[in-house]
A and B are shown apart, each in its own frame.
Chain A
Amino acid sequence: MDIDQALQTFIVESRELLEAMNEGLLGIEHTQDRAESVNAIFRAAHTIKGSAGVFSLDHIVAFTHVLESVLDDAREGHVEISGELVSLLLSCGDHIGELIDAVEPGQRGVDEALALRGVPLLERLRTYLHVVPLPGKPPTIAQRVDSTAVDTDCWHISLRFGLDVLKNCLDPLSFIRYLGKLGTITGIVTLPDAIPAAAEMDPDSCYLGFEIAFNSESDKAAIENVFEFVRDDCAVQILPPRSRISQYIRLIDELPEEPAQLGEILVKCGTLTTKELEAGLGHQSSVASAQLIGAILVEQGAVPPAVLEAALAKQQQVNALKAQNARSIRVDADKLDRLINLVGELIIAGASIDLIARRTRNVELQECNSTLSELVEQVRDNALQLRMVKIGATFSRLKRVVHDVARELGKDIELQISGEDTELDKTVVEKIGDPLMHLVRNAMDHGIGAPDVRAARGKPAQGTIVLNAYHDSGNIVIQVSDDGSGLNRDKILAEAVERGLIEAGRSLSDAEVYDLIFEPGFSTAEQVTNLSGRGVGLDVVKRNITALRGSVSIASEAGRGTTVTVRLPLTLAIINGFQVGVGDTVFVVPLDMIEECVRFSSENDQGYTNLHGQVLPLIRLRALFEVEGAVGPRQSIVVIKHAGKRTGLVVDALLGEFQTVIKPLSKIFGHVKCISGSSILGSGEVALILDAPALVQQAVTREMERSTSALRGPTLAVRMPDAA
């Protein structure tokens, strides 16, 4: 195996372990089974140390070793897990993360500055230790032996080299080195027992034997191949991982050394645990005393002792876990993107076949094509599903933010999470992390008051932030709620007037007022903390979310709390669109934005119409995009709805539903409003995808202007957030 590749795996796995550690630490105060949770954290640290040792990353081993010692003490109950210790352990986890990040292939050197940052952590850790270990000298090799001592899933390889190996110019060392390339030697014991007394010892003969615990994905044949060259000169015995104890016992029987000594050696290289060995040897001696020579194999079928049974049960657990792991594979995100891209092209090609089939009026072809389309659709759904990940991981990361920030602010805040199984596209997940973190921080800083303030208002001292996620017609909705004091409407209005965002005396709906806090530079916090309050942030949050074709809205109740709702499309790659024609131009409206389509009968030039007894603002696409040509004979209105507001789009023709791949517009079109992307039609023509939220926003703005001008003349002072 390529060492860099192995190192990469180490890095990825370590990060996962750190995450598990973090999660364990954060959950430890609430968990029922505290001992198990400490155990899990300890195991994570232990595994990182063990693997780091294998790669000779001594600085990581040294740091993790101290951490592990503290955790071990905690496991034994010598150290109480306090809130302070949890924070310290979290910081240590972060530091290990940094150390691991610094391990780039080829640069294994220790970053001095980074190492220095670990020193105060180590100092603090040591205060929890009873015995202060010698600093700086990590017991690398010894650790390598015991790092997988329990429940190993290692191969066991037993080697006894023949006398003539060295004379044949073969060096046993080189075989062991080569073995190291197939996997990891987790434990090795060199046996000198066959070396005769000094006088008889022939320095040119080989007397060495090795017992090796070996962790590898290779199969038995591959491992045997390592020793191909010395097959005649070496006794090789290979036991696959998780062999039955009786097989180890048989191995011990067949080897020249004393069984008891061999047993210890197996324990030393981590193949067997002491418990397993005792069970096995006890079993063996009882068999031997009954004079049943060689009956161990037969005994294999008999009822094993309770201890052995327990050991087996534990192994089965590990097996089940392994099987589960084996069912998922890591795939490069680029490969998935390529697949999705191809599926997109497939959809475009399918659309063009569909077009031709209809034009030729070949019924058979149309039937075939509809089957094909169905399959393509399924392929598309499945391909997109591949990129779907649960939002839970993003939420869990926020747990940490809440923990840290709450401490910093001196507030007691609990984070409640629901809907963590809700899935969404990986690209969306990656980009939503920061905005969400900002919203949560904002809620903690501004939303939830200090404990005494809360108590004075008759609320529990502990504040609650709720993160919730659910699917809603092609969108994922993420809500961040707090049970704080809510937004102060008057204050926001006053601030907005002061900043010249709105005119004094204007009447705005609550939602409109709350929306103002997403304006750049807006802040009502009296006190600027280092978290928020500088007025940087919420506008960026909004911009990031809009960039993802999402929207954000805010609801608040004075004294009860605030809820920020973020709506995002499930995927950025493909949408279900509805084609509309204006003149010769085709536009695509995202289907899940459309509420209904109605005939347009009004001939006047009004900017609104009456729909089900309500005013519906209209946007004439022909006018908006300056499309040339005569108005079609049968105009229709496509009613789109976004964030509770309706707008009608006046179009010439309704061309029906179709699935489309979104091709982003190039940067030079960046300033074009109301268009979110483009798509290629089956005919090869380009269709522009309408940015429905921006259109709705535009209509609302215009309505407001109209009402303002109707009320107070033509002055216009409303600056609405940039819709694009």
Chain B
Amino acid sequence: MTTTEQCNSAPHVVYIEGEMTIYRAAEIKQTLLAPIVESAVVEFDLSKVTELDSAGVQLLMLAKRTAQAKHGDVRLVAHSPAVLDVMELLNLESYFGITPVIAPRTG
């Protein structure tokens, strides 16, 4: 369901699949927070996310905040339509500090 892949060059990319909802909240929390270590830049690839709810949103926000507290950062890339929809509804782009990219990730 969730795969973690260490690229040769930073950043660390985590692919998230399926729904990011209250029903998998504990698992998602684990997945999102695990790769966050001191000074790391983690990219979450959201292209396979089928659903996102408030529980998922606050976990993403938590991950971002936690990473920043550790002088690292979290980047969200390749938003799926479900994610984009929520990002737009809640105007979260400014929080995550990136423009959503729908196309497959290039860098």
Contacts and interface: CB of A to CB of B under 8 A. Distances in A.
6 contacts: A141-B87, A142-B93, A144-B91, A192-B61, A195-B62, A203-B28
A201 interface: yes
Contact of B58 (A141, A145, A208): A208
A206 B57 CA distance: 10
B97 to A, nearest CB: 12
Contact of B86 (A142, A169, A173, A198): A173
Contact of B57 (A140, A145, A208): A208
B89 A198 contact: no
Given A195-B58, A198-B33, A204-B55, A190 B90 contact: yes
Interface string B47-75: 00000011101110110011000000000
Interface residues of A, number: 33
A330 interface: no
Given A169-B22, A206-B58, A210-B90, 11 more contacts: A161-B54, A171-B22, A173-B54, A173-B90, A188-B89, A189-B91, A190-B91, A192-B61, A195-B61, A195-B65, A203-B55
Contact of B94 (A142, A180, A185, A208): A142
A201 B58 CA distance: 10
A176 interface: yes
Given A142-B94, A192-B95, A198 B22 contact: no
Give the top 5 A-B pairs by smallest Cβ distance, nearest first.
A203-B25, A192-B61, A203-B29, A172-B54, A190-B90
A248 interface: no
Contact of A141 (B54, B62, B91): B91
Chain B contact residues, majority secondary structure: helix
A139 B94 CA distance: 11
Contact of A201 (B57, B62, B92, B95): B62
B53 A192 contact: no
Contacts of B65: 192, 195
Contacts of B26: 203-204
Given A195-B58, A195-B61, A195-B65, A173 B53 contact: yes
Which of B22, B28, B53, B58 has most chain A Cβ within 10 Å?
A: B58
B91 A145 contact: yes
Contacts of B33: 198
B88 interface: yes
A74 interface: no
A144 B87 CA distance: 13
A147 to B, nearest CB: 12
B13 to A, nearest CB: 20
Nearest to B60: A192
Interface string A190-211: 1010010110010110111010
Nearest to B92: A190
A169 B22 CA distance: 9
Which of A161, A177, A197, A203 has most chain B Cβ within 10 Å?
A: A203
A428 to B, nearest CB: 47
A117 interface: no
B99 interface: yes
Contact of A166 (B54, B87, B93): B54
A137 interface: yes
A198 B53 CA distance: 19
A483 to B, nearest CB: 57
B29 A201 contact: yes
A192 B86 CA distance: 15
Contacts of B94: 142
A203 B89 CA distance: 21
A537 interface: no
Interface string A144-178: 11000000000000000100011001011100110
A486 interface: no
A201 B63 CA distance: 11
A171 B58 contact: no
A594 B59 CA distance: 85
A136 B61 CA distance: 28
